[in-house]
Amino acid sequence: MQTSYALITGASSGFGVDFADILAKKGKNIIITARRVENLERVKKNIENKYPVKVIIIPADLSTLSGVKSLIDQTQSYEVDVLINNAGFGVYGFYHESSWEDLNKMIQVDITALSYLTHAFGQRMKKLGRGNILLVGSVAAFQATPTYAAYAACKSYVLSLGEALNHELKVHGVNVTVLNPGITATEFLQVSGQKTTFYQKVFMMQSYPVALTGIKAMFKKKAFIVPGLANKLTVFLGRFYPRKIQSYFAYLVMKN
């Protein structure tokens, strides 16, 4: 059994659960974190019943700076050479009609916590001379998206950051990959407050294959990956349209 650990944020549901299962199956010890302790306990029990690995639970609220710092401090004694920055959520609705409290909390999780953890564990991995970091982005990163304006902007930041860090850290033996899924069967829509659209029903992917695609891309040291043919086509064809048209199409497929 390996002595190093993979740290997975947002591990109480959705992609986080799948990432934990995939890495544990590979024999990786796991540190899982989220706010919902009961869910983390279920994930821990399920993994330890299936695989001969250690699972450590560290509850944390990544929407607060103190929560992020606490997570970093509590993992000091563990050798973490895989970081899965999965925690994040969206806020659906027109920007100026949305609650600033909700938007700010999203920005804190999707940008600030992700950046802080990537900085802290990237430094640790540089000292180790090895490591892999997976940032969970979105296809929304590739175009402005009315009704998800701030969320799409957050994910654009994640994509840009990840691609740049992939270049900066590879000379130190550390890889950074950005996974950019489209609509997936997770709690995302429920949390964001959006009803499922026709487009989303037709093109929705299951979470486990998407998570597996991300893990494979990470270990192959790819800078970013877009899972699913429909998502790949969306990103590819978007290159040929003016940005104004891109955002208009994004609005049409997202509006309820």
Domain count along the chain: 1
**What is the domain range of residue 23?**
5-254
| 3-state SS class at 178 | strand
Average pLDDT over the chain, rounded to an integer: 95
pLDDT at 189: 86
- Residue-wise pLDDT for 108-152, tens only, equals 999 999 999 999 999 999 999 999 999 999 999 999 999 999 999
* pLDDT score for 187: 86
Structure tokens at 144: 């402005």
Give the predicted TM-score (pTM) of the model.
Answer: 0.94
CATH of the domain at 95: 3.40.50.720
Which of 169, 168, 143 shows the shortest CA–CA distance to 155? 143
Question: How far apart, in whole angstroms, are the C-alpha atoms of residue 228 and residue 104?
Answer: 31
> For the segment 19-59, what is each residue's pLDDT rounded down to a tens digit?
999 999 999 999 999 999 999 999 999 999 999 999 999 99
Q: Are 88 and 12 in contact (CB under 8 A)?
A: no
Separation between Cα atoms, residue 104 and residue 107, nearest integer Å: 5
d(CA 209, CA 194): 23
- pLDDT at site 2: 67
> Coil, strand or helix: which one is 252?
helix
Q: pLDDT for 60-101, tens place per residue?
A: 999 999 999 999 999 999 999 999 999 999 999 999 999 999
Question: In the chain, what percentage of residues exceed pLDDT 70?
Answer: 99
Contacts of residue 232, defined as CB under 8 A and 6 or more positions apart, other chains included, come to 226
